[in-house]
């Protein structure tokens, strides 16, 4: 029997995520909502504790939606015909998604609106504060991967690391290059970082694992996202 490589499990997990995104309309809505909420969290300059709470909350919504899909698939596999017990199982799984969504709304209210935080946010001067670079890097990486997931979902059922509408490695390479440029504030260091990102993109095209279009889309997406984050939070 063939030994399973450690990356096999990772690839199968990514296939599952892409499948849910492709087949479940609600999952696509959840992902877009997560992108919006995380962006708002950065604009609000939430501290590390509040941002971790926000990340945990939105992740819980995505996880319950995936479990809901898994339950539906298993029930349809073993009993495609209508059955009262199958309906109850699906309703319970859907109820879990509803509870996690309500919890996310409550957490979002306390983080963004409660205690006059919304009013203070609208009145603050964005040019007088500076971001927590590690927080921006972590959140930016999550936003980037979710956007890549969205591109993969509309492209078709392919592995993340083997192809798709957007090149994952190209996107990560240029995101890290932009991060190095902003953090170091040195043109030479940024130029060297971009040279490495270009080498990654060239390798993907030269090996014929991805097209020029996929690599360019990944690079442009990463540059736009990182520039938006760092320029919005000076």
pLDDT at 127: 47
**Predicted pLDDT at 4:** 60
The confidence score (pLDDT) of residue 158 equals 47
Q: Residue 153: what pLDDT?
A: 54
Q: What is the model's pLDDT at position 212?
A: 75
Q: The tokens of 190 are what? A: 């940024």
* Contact (Cβ atoms closer than 8 angstroms) between residue 173 and residue 193: no
For the entire predicted model, the pTM comes to 0.60
CB 23 within 8 A of CB 70: no
Measured torsion, CA atoms of residues 109, 151, 71, 8, in degrees rounded to the nearest 10:
-120
> Alpha-carbon torsion 87, 92, 97, 102, what sign?
positive
Q: Which segments of the chain have a pLDDT < 70?
A: 1-7, 43, 119-133, 150-165, 231-234
Q: Look up 65 and say whether it is catalytic.
A: yes
Q: What is the pLDDT of residues 2-28, one digit of tens each?
A: 556 666 777 778 778 778 877 888 887
**Structure tokens belonging to residue 145:** 């991967």
Domain boundaries defined on the chain: 1-124
Closest listed residue to residue 169, CA positions, set 146, 191, 192, 198: 198
For 31-52, the pLDDT digits (tens) are 778 877 877 777 677 777 888 8
- The pLDDT assigned to 159 comes to 44
Q: Which pLDDT score, from 0 to 100, does residue 98 have?
A: 93
Q: What is the pLDDT of residue 157?
A: 46
Using DSSP's 3-state secondary structure scheme, residue 168 falls into: helix
The pLDDT of residue 160 is: 43
Nearest residue to 150 via CA among 163, 166, 139: 166
Fold classification of 1-124 is: Helix Hairpins (1.10.287)
Pick the catalytic residue from 65, 72, 203, 214.
Answer: 65
């Amino acid at each position: 029997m063939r030994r399973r490589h450690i990356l096999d499990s990772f690839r199968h997990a990514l296939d599952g995520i892409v499948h849910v995104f492709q087949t479940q309309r609600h999952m696509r809505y959840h992902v877009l909502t997560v992108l919006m909420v995380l962006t708002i969290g950065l604009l609000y300059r939430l501290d590390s504790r509040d941002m971790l709470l926000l990340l945990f909350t939105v992740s819980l919504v995505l996880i319950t939606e995936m479990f809901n899909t898994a339950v539906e698939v298993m029930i349809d596999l073993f009993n495609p015909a209508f059955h009262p017990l199958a309906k109850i199982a699906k309703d319970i799984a859907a109820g879990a998604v509803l509870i996690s969504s309500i919890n996310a709304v409550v957490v979002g209210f306390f983080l963004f609106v409660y205690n006059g935080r919304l009013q203070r946010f609208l009145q603050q001067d964005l040019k007088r504060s500076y971001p927590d670079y590690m927080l921006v890097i972590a959140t930016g990486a999550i936003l980037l991967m979710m956007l890549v997931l969205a591109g993969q979902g509309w492209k078709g059922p392919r592995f993340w690391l083997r192809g798709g509408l957007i090149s994952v490695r190209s996107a990560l390479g240029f995101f890290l290059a932009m991060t190095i440029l902003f953090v170091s504030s040195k043109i030479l260091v940024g130029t060297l970082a971009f040279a490495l990102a270009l080498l990654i993109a060239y390798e993907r095209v030269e090996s014929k694992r991805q097209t020029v279009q996929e690599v360019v889309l990944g690079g442009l997406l990463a540059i736009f996202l990182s520039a938006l984050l760092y320029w919005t939070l000076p």
